[in-house]
């Protein structure tokens, strides 16, 4: 509890200057949290020692002493951190936390994550120009797991997939404990954890052990274009279509699955549930953003300028992947007679700039600076395609009870996609946005139950009286966003927004 001070009638805060409000007494760290931190520290120490020692082959004791303790310690810490807390909003102190407000610690963490991605994405290239083999020891740590799962030693990509999955699972425990009184978040977090562990980590490894082509079944065109690009799978960013076609039944199944998911499953599921079925329930990028990235969701830019940049960037990437795919197939069909020699370099440029730099290095490395959905909001072609379907054809919407809104701004603050949710709630309008991923946090942090994620009986009622999907699209293209800004003491920074 905060002890309130009694101020005299003549107290003039404007004259003496505004200061920080009094802070609550720090919550004591319980014994469970201390035990979790001790295991985390011990596991991290073992990881550093094993990595620096440059072990040539890992062992189960070393794996358990490092990653095993890190995993158990992280889960125990977050379990005890939130256990026993009451239902409600759990964001106290976010604006004072250095690592959550672009402070020095946030910049340091962003640099570390960015360097990690650079080292893993271009490890062999960097070693070729003189970088010490700093990751060899850490990669060897997971050899026992790789041998058990895939039947061969680990490489940099198995190590990356392992770390990615661990991050989703450990911080998934954090999400479960933090929102354990909210059924929607419990199921959603369980879903992304299941798909990441089962379909993006275990299943590809099992396929390798069975001498089948490894494939991430949670990614498909346009997010993962390589299976539908012509090529034999060799070379930087190479297409895999012909390589998969030559792999027999499993290869043809992967090709058929990729085509089916984009051409049929995606439109149907998006019509029924909105883009949340993929972006917040299945996708590995969204899974990491909703778990590891949760502490930084409030950093998303809510300005109209950011909205304009978002609209042009994400749809430009979608157009780019469509053109690259078309040019590659034209080049293949005509043996280069039409496109000449620039189709393949175009493929490499797209793969390097969009897939590696944007989706990987920037998309995750900038979590502490730009929020958890940088890639999903500004660059993901899958999110762009799903957004178009959601905006004009889906039943999904977030309904609002404007009469209950008290303009606190929690919904807009914690919207990781930069939507001015409060503006819609104040006007009592349903939220029908192409960018909304349906994470449900806006509804979870609302203290008065104003917002509700719903699937309507049909897609009607989302065209603003202009007649239908095509007239609505023309209307959206011709009418720039109108700045919406709440008034009064509850106004929060950067809540200007337009409507799509």
Contact by Cβ (8 Å): 375, 358: yes
Contact by Cβ (8 Å): 455, 273: yes
E strand or H helix at 452: strand 451-455
Q: Which residue has the tokens 């909205």?
A: 307
Q: Is the alpha carbon torsion for 107, 112, 113, 118 positive or negative?
A: positive
Paired tokens of 259: 């085509």
| Spatial CB neighbours of 296, under 8 Å, sequence gap ≥ 6 | 100, 367, 368, 371, 372
CA-based nearest residue to 382, from 283, 260, 255: 283
Say what percent of the chain tops pLDDT 70: 83
Q: Residue 339: which pLDDT band, with cuts at 50, 70 and 90?
A: low
Paired tokens of 292: 């590891």
Angstrom distances, CA of residue 382 to CA of 266, 315, 356: 10, 10, 16
| CA–CA dist 470, 149 (Å, integer) | 50
Residue 429 has a pLDDT of: 85
Q: What is the maximum alpha-carbon separation in the chain?
A: 85
Q: Which residues pair with 399 in a beta bridge?
A: 452
* Buried-state track 265-288, b at ≥16 Cβ within 10 A, e below 16: ebeebbbebbbbbbbbbbbbbbbb
| CA–CA dist 199, 483 (Å, integer) | 42
Beta strand segments in 179-265, E: none
DSSP per position, 272-337: HH-THHHHTTT-HHHHHHHHTTGGGGGGS--SHHHHHHHHHHHHHHHHHHHHHHHHHHHHHHTTTT
pLDDT surpassing 60 at residue 165: yes
pLDDT surpassing 50 at residue 337: yes
pLDDT digits (tens, 9 = 90+) for 433-449: 889 999 999 999 998 88
pLDDT digits (tens, 9 = 90+) for 349-394: 898 999 999 998 999 999 999 999 999 999 999 999 999 999 888 8
| CA–CA dist 184, 236 (Å, integer) | 41
- Return the minimum-mean-pLDDT range out of 130-144, 159-173, 481-495: 481-495
pLDDT surpassing 80 at residue 215: yes
- Long-range contacts of the stretch 131-136 (C-beta < 8 A, 24+): 133/54, 134/51, 135/51, 135/159, 136/54
pLDDT digits (tens, 9 = 90+) for 248-289: 888 889 889 988 999 999 999 999 999 999 999 999 999 999
pLDDT digits (tens, 9 = 90+) for 235-249: 666 778 878 888 888
Paired tokens of 416: 């990781």
Q: Which residue has the tokens 């919904």?
A: 411
Identify whether 183 is preceded by a cis peptide bond (ω within 30 of 0).
no
| Spatial CB neighbours of 249, under 8 Å, sequence gap ≥ 6 | none
């Amino acid at each position: 509890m905060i002890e309130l001070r009694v101020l005299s009638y003549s107290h003039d805060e404007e004259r003496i200057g505004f200061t920080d409000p009094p802070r609550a007494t720090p919550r004591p760290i319980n014994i469970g949290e201390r035990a979790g931190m001790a295991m985390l520290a011990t596991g991290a120490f073992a990881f550093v020692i094993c990595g620096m020692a440059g072990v040539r082959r890992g062992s189960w004791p070393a794996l358990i002493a490092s990653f095993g303790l890190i995993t158990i310690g992280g889960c125990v810490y977050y379990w005890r951190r939130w256990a026993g807390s009451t239902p409600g909003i759990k964001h106290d102190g976010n604006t004072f936390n250095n690592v959550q407000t672009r402070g020095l610690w946030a910049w340091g963490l962003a640099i570390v994550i960015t360097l990690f991605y650079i080292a893993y994405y271009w490890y062999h290239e960097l070693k070729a120009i003189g970088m010490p083999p700093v990751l060899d020891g850490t990669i060897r740590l997971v050899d026992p797991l790789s041998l058990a799962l895939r039947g061969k030693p680990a490489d940099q990509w198995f190590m990356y997939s392992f770390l990615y999955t661990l991050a989703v699972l450990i911080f998934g425990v954090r999400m479960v404990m933090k929102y354990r009184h909210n059924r929607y978040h419990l199921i959603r977090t369980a879903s992304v954890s299941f798909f990441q562990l089962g379909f993006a980590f275990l299943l590809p490894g099992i396929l390798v052990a069975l001498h089948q082509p490894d494939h991430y079944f949670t990614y498909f065109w346009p997010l993962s274009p390589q299976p539908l690009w012509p090529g034999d799978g060799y070379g930087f960013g190479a297409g895999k279509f012909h390589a998969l076609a030559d792999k027999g039944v499993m290869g043809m199944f992967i090709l058929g699955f990729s085509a089916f998911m984009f051409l049929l499953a995606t439109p149907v599921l998006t019509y029924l549930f909105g883009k949340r079925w993929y972006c917040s329930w299945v996708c590995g990028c969204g899974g990491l953003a909703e778990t590891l990235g949760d502490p930084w969701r409030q950093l998303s830019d809510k300005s109209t300028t950011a909205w304009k940049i978002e609209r042009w960037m994400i749809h430009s990437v979608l157009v780019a992947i469509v053109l690259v795919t078309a040019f590659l197939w034209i080049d293949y069909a005509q043996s280069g007679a039409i496109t000449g020699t620039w189709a393949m370099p175009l493929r490499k440029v797209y793969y390097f700039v969009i897939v590696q730099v944007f989706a990987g290095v920037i998309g995750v490395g900038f979590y502490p600076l730009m929020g958890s959905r940088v890639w999903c909001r500004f660059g993901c072609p899958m999110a762009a395609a799903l957004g178009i379907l959601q905006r004009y054809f889906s039943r999904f919407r977030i309904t609002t009870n404007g009469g209950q809104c008290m303009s606190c701004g929690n919904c807009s603050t914690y919207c990781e996609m930069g939507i001015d949710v409060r503006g819609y709630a104040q006007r009592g309008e349903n939220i029908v946005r192409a960018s909304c991923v349906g994470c449900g946090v806006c509804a979870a942090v609302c203290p008065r139950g104003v917002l509700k994620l719903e699937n309507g009986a049909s897609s009607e009622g989302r065209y603003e009286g202009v007649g239908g999907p095509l007239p609505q699209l023309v209307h959206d293209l011709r009418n720039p966003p109108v700045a919406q800004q709440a008034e009064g003491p509850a106004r929060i920074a950067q809540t200007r927004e337009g409507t799509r």
